[in-house]
Each structure stands twice: as C-alpha cells, then as structure tokens.
Amino acid sequence: MFSKIFPKIHAEGYKFLVIAGIITIVLYSFSDFFGLIGFVLTIWVYYFFRDPERYSINDESFLVSPADGLITDISERTGPLELQLENTSFTKVSIFMNVFNCHVNRTPCSGVIENILYHPGKFLNATLDKSSDENERNYYKIKTNDGEQILVVQIAGLIAWRIICEVKKEDILKQGERIGMIRFGSRVDIYFNNKKLLAKVGQNVVAGESLIAEG
C-alpha cells in the first residue's frame, strides 16, 4: 500500500527533487504563500519521476504498451528510413505522455535489442504526426523470440529536455523491462506487423501492462 502511494522515483529525478526542495526553502523565506507554491512544485517533481513496479502478462503472443499515456494515433505506414525499413509495412501506435504521466518506458515484448539509433531533431508538439520524422528521437529495434521485428521510438516533445536510454545493443530483455525515459512531455511510438490490434485511439494505457496487440 505504501509503495502505491509513495512509489520509488527514477534516478534521474533525485537532482530535480533536491533543486525543487532548495527553491521551496528560498520561497518560504519570502512568504508562506510562495513556500506553498514551491512545496506543490516539489510534490509534482516527485510525482513526475515516479517509477512504480509494473506487472506484465509475460506472454509472447501479446505486445504490451511501452509507455503510460493516451493513444493519439493508430496508422499503417512504412518503417523508419533510419533503420532501413522504408519498404516494410507496419502498424504504428502513438502514445502521448503528458507532464502528469509516468515517463519511464518499457519494452513491449521479450527479445534481443538488435539496434539502437539516436537521431537529433526538432522539439515540435509531440501530438503532431510529423514529429515522428522531425523531432529528436531514439529508435529501438527488438527481435522477438519468434524472430519478429518490433520497433519502439522515443520522441522528444515541445518541452522535453532529454531522451534517456538505459539499455544497449544485444541486451536480452523480458517483456515489461525498463528501457529508458523521456524528461517531460513527449511521445512513444510502437511499430509492429502481423498482429491483431487490441488498442484504440483515445485509450489510456499503462506501460508494461496494457495490451496493444496479439498474434
């Protein structure tokens, strides 16, 4: 129960929590009102960097969500040019993370990371479809135990400061394991094919738990 109310936070959050705490103390020296504002800010920083445990289905016939947030788009498109998959058709599911969502990202499937590719870019609103091709982003190409290719793309948003990758090429992952996070509002895309779509636009999903596809 305690861990649900006060989950652990991601390592990236500690320095921001300290900074917010110092700001709160300084604001309190001016007035209780400003101090209260600082306290609320500190609580939000803690909440933003929360890293709760998640429990995946652990079934290789399903893909789970790589991110918390709102599904804003589902479309059929070719794979990313950067990964030389421009001639392969995929279903792409886009998940937008607002500043109140947990921003720790997870692998949608078990498998081995075949490639990780960082691409610098712009910081457009992450809800825009063109942000998939124009924004700063980080690609993960995962080969499942069945030999299928699953792509996860972290996309920086309008106020994102940093994409964090916590895995490396040739790492073997279990479904739902952490792969990284994005600091502040952003988006995660998942690409797959030959699977039955289970999710829908407008659905709120939970990283590592919500089912995205089956097959």
Strand partners, 73: 94
Domain interval for residue 14 = 2-48
Catalytic residue ranges: 186
Burial 148-173 (b: 16+ CB within 10 A, else e): bbbbbbbbbbbebeebbeebeeebeb
Query: What does the alpha-carbon distance between residue 26 and residue 8 come to, in Å, rounded to a whole number?
Result: 26
pLDDT tens, position by position, 104-142: 999 999 999 999 999 988 777 677 777 777 888 999 999
pLDDT tens, position by position, 145-162: 999 999 999 998 777 667
Q: Are residues 30 and 98 in the same domain?
A: no
Angle at the Cα of 53 from the Cα atoms of 210 and 187, rounded to 5 degrees: 50
In a domain, 6, yes or no: yes
Residue 9 or residue 180, greater confidence: 180
**pTM, rounded to two decimals:** 0.87
Q: Are residues 88 and 167 in the same domain?
A: yes
In a domain, 137, yes or no: yes
End-to-end CA distance of the chain: 35
